[in-house]
Structure 1
Amino acid sequence: MANPGNVARGLKGAMANPNNSDEAKERVAQRLHQMEESGEVDSAEAHAGQVERGHKAAISNPNNSEEAKQHSKQVLDDLQS
């Protein structure tokens, strides 16, 4: 069986794809809504994980300013407390 998180990501990608019809996007949105309501996926939890990974990446990115890196460190500290 497919990982529900991967399925949800695929559904979100299908909704964002401009090549998909409006009807297909509506079916995809309904399926994603069903998954969220049934508890198969937790959007808030998934979002929090994405935020954390993004800030970790920002800290190690040599193109980011020290100010941006400090902000990301602060956000990560706040998330862990």
Structure 2
Amino acid sequence: MSDITPEDRSNAATGHKANLSNPSTSEESKQNSRQALKELGGEDAFYGKDKQGDDAPAAGMGNDGNVLGGHKATLSNPNSSEEAKAHSKQVLKDAGAQ
């Protein structure tokens, strides 16, 4: 995974995190996702989160407008989970953008 971009790492971590919250997923699959998340860097694997866990972009990774725009897009995407929409709504509220 040496050539993996921050976006790719974040996307992989997001998929594994979703697997962990899926009640239809087997315990074996969840254990594999826990291990994969650990190997990806845990919470630090998520794009746009700095060391304090904020959703502000980390140094050199995009800009606030792009991050907030992504969260706005999540709210109108019919394929986004309710959990993702709730998270995006909170991020936008905290940023004063909604």
TM-score, with normalisation over the residues of structure 2? 0.44
Q: Which has the larger radius of gyration?
A: 1
Distance 1:60 1:36 in 2: 29
Number of the residue aligned with 1:60: 97
Q: Unaligned 5+ residue runs, structure 2? A: 57-63, 69-89
Superposition pairs for residues 63-74 of structure 1, below 5 Å?
A: none
Structure 1 unmatched ranges of 5 or more: 62-81
More helix by share: 1
RMSD of equivalent CA atoms: 3.3
Determine the structure 2 residue equivalent to 1:74. none
Is the Cα–Cα contact under 8 Å of residues 19 and 33 in structure 2 kept in the other structure? yes
Determine whether 1:23 maps to 2:60: no
Number of aligned residues: 58
